[in-house]
Amino acid sequence: MTESIRRPAGELEAAVLSALWAADGPLTPPEVQLALGGPLARTTVATILARLHDKGTVRRIRSGRAYAYSPAVEDHAALAAHRMHSELDKEADRPGVLARFVSRLSTDDEALLRDLLRRAHGSGEPG
């Protein structure tokens, strides 16, 4: 692959996830490659799928001698939430991480978070 057509890994991962979200069922690496179009090698697609599996964002099942992949997260919002949980799980000081996160929220995001937490705890009363 030449340098002029290289894309960042995050962009490739997003493209692969989009192809899986659009599919009617699990896809093999060659099927994902076909869905993506373009010059990506099958081995590149297989590597991206393996990385996504390692991160827990896709599931895989045996399909002959290879694997077929399906998304383990429903959409972009679920993917972002998965990443946030993964980052939080890496840190020993969870209260410190959460406190810093919350302290940097905008006023609107803080109000939204409060409302979501209230709903999650069953009061259901708005803000």
Mean of the per-residue pLDDT values for the chain? 90
Would you state the pLDDT for residue 73? Answer: 94
Determine contact, residues 60/27, Cβ cutoff 8 Å: no
**Residue 70 bridge partners (DSSP):** 59
- Summarize pLDDT for 55-92 with one digit per residue, the tens: 999 999 999 998 999 999 999 999 999 999 999 999 99
pTM of the model: 0.75
Under 8 Å between Cβ of 12 and 48: yes
pLDDT < 50 regions, the chain: 1-4, 127
d(CA 59, CA 56): 7
Q: Give the residue among 24, 34, 29 at the shortest CA–CA distance from 52.
A: 29
Tell me phi and psi for residue 45, to 5 degrees.
-60, -45
